[in-house]
């Protein structure tokens, strides 16, 4: 059972000041999770979490995570600027982009970010844009094929298709990239790879780590280049369904440690720093989309219309993703009504739930849509002229801060030329 991190009374008080819909984040949950992650990898002295800014590009969140020792994984000009304005610069930024324009390389270089090159041809693009190759550089690896863990002890199958992904270099390309970069002045090298999204398995990171650790040993032998860091990227997921298993980050960290000691240490690479780039794991469970039931419709199905729409959370519309819904004040009522919970867009996929069994919903009820702290408001848009909602931070002392105001019609019309 998923339990909201706020009560109905708290939400009604918040909604009296900040009208629904809005995204609400839990400071206490975010901080405690960041500390669990850091503890899981404390055995590696160089460990650093580079929070994936694309998941939740909100300054208050980035500053909060900075206080917990996290850097930023940026992939665009705007994300670089946001990181800088939050006081995050230098090697606290990992710049992992693809199809990169010159101005993004130039700003990343100016900020002193670690460059993570997605493609062999970007070596030339980076050199042309900045006039040099940095001494510390990373390359993104794509092993191709299909990645699968099979049935894990959690009973969950992990499968993804790296060979169909646009990211990363082939095995031959990454070896050649190291040689070329070394010839152009690079002295410290990193490896990065991302094989599967939102995995619910304690085995994913250790399996990925073994692959990258072995590759690091091979590249050291082939090229003589000094591998100083390995970035395990993201992919550690969260259970969107109440009955799904939850990752144990301590177990995951221990699995990676074992692989590290078995592969890297004997090869003379026992000083390699480990990095992660977790967005969903860091934030998703600690965000709610709060919306109010506005309308009932009784035709071939039963519909509940809410004041949020896919512009506030597009994952269900885009991917068919499940997000759990709590009807506030009715947490213990029987789920004996079948509803489609829908927004007001002129699109039939604007649905937060389809044929969902829920308690009876009345107009005015507050609904919490769970696990929206990552890839929630970040993926919002303005179709049908909808305005993107506010973001609020529930502080540890129970107070609430407005951390991004809701858009206005003036914002929407500001870029138009009449």
Q: Output 1 or 330, whichever has higher pLDDT.
A: 330
Active site residue 225: no
At 311-320, the pLDDT tens digits run 999 999 999 9
* pLDDT given at position 167: 86
Name residues whose C-beta falls within 8 Å of residue 101's C-beta, 6 or more positions apart in sequence: 77
Is the alpha carbon torsion for 308, 313, 318, 322 positive or negative? negative
Strand runs labelled E in 201-277:
227-231, 273-276
* pLDDT given at position 29: 98
pLDDT at 164 over 80: no
At 277-327, the pLDDT tens digits run 999 999 999 999 999 999 999 999 999 999 999 999 999 999 999 999 999
The full 3-state SS of 119-175, as one line of letters, equals CCCHHHHHHHHHCCCCCEEEEEECCCCCEEEEECCCCCEEEECHHHCCCCECHHHHH
Going along the chain from its start, the domains and CATH numbers come out as: 8-23+286-413 (2.40.37.10), 27-284 (3.20.20.10)
* pLDDT given at position 285: 98
364 φ/ψ sector (left φ>0, alpha ψ -120 to 50, else beta): left
* pLDDT given at position 162: 66
What average pLDDT does the segment 399-403 reach?
Answer: 98
pLDDT at 150 over 60: no
| Cα–Cα distance, 376 to 49 (Å, whole number) | 21
Closest by CA position to 123, among listed 77, 220, 73, 189: 189
pLDDT band at 146 (very low <50, low <70, confident <90, very high): confident
Write down the pTM of the prediction: 0.94
Tell me the chain's radius of gyration from C-alpha atoms: 23
Do 202 and 252 touch, CB atoms closer than 8 A? yes
Tell me which of 86, 225, 311, 346 is the catalytic residue.
346
Helix (H) or strand (E) holding 60: helix 59-67
* C-alpha distances out from residue 49 to 68, 166, 316, Å: 10, 24, 28
């Amino acid at each position: 059972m998923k339990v909201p991190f706020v009560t109905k009374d708290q939400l009604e008080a918040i909604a009296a000041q900040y009208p629904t819909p809005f995204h609400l984040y839990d400071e206490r949950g975010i901080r405690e999770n960041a500390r669990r992650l850091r503890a899981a990898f404390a055995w590696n002295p160089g460990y650093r979490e580079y929070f994936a800014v694309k998941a939740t590009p909100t300054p208050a969140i980035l500053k909060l995570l900075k206080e917990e020792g996290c850097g930023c994984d940026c992939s665009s000009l705007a994300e670089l600027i946001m990181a800088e304005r939050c006081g995050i610069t230098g090697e606290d930024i990992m710049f992992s982009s693809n199809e990169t324009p010159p101005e993004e390389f130039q700003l990343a270089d100016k900020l002193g970010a670690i460059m993570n090159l997605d493609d062999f041809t970007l070596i030339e693009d980076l050199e042309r844009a900045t006039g040099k190759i940095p001494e510390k550089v990373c390359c993104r690896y794509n092993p191709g094929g299909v990645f699968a863990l099979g049935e894990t002890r959690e009973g969950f199958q992990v499968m993804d298709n790296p060979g169909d992904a646009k990211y990363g270099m082939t095995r031959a390309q990454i070896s050649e990239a190291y040689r070329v970069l070394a010839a152009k002045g690079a002295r410290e090298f990193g490896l990065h790879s991302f094989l599967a999204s939102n995995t619910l398995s304690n085995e994913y990171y250790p399996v990925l780590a073994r692959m990258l650790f072995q590759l690091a040993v091979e590249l050291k032998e082939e090229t003589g280049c000094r591998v100083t860091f390995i970035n395990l990227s993201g992919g550690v997921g969260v259970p969107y369904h109440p009955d799904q298993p939850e990752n144990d980050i301590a177990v995951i960290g221990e699995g990676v440690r074992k692989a590290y000691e078995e592969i890297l240490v004997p090869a003379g690479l026992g000083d390699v720093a480990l990095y992660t780039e977790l967005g969903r794991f860091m934030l998703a469970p600690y965000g709610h989309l709060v919306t109010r039931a506005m309308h009932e419709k009784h035709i071939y199905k039963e519909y509940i219309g809410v004041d949020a729409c896919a512009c506030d959370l597009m994952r269900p519309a885009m991917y068919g993703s499940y997000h759990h819904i709590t009807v506030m004040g009715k947490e213990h009522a029987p789920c004996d009504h079948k509803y489609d919970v829908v927004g007001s867009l002129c699109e039939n996929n604007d649905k937060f739930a389809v044929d969902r069994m829920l308690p009876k919903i009345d107009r005015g009820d507050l609904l919490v849509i769970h696990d929206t702290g990552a890839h929630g408001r970040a993926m919002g848009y303005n179709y049908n002229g909808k305005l993107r909602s506010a973001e609020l931070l529930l502080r540890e002392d129970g107070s609430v801060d407005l951390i991004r105001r809701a858009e206005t019609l003036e914002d929407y019309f500001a870029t138009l030329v009449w």
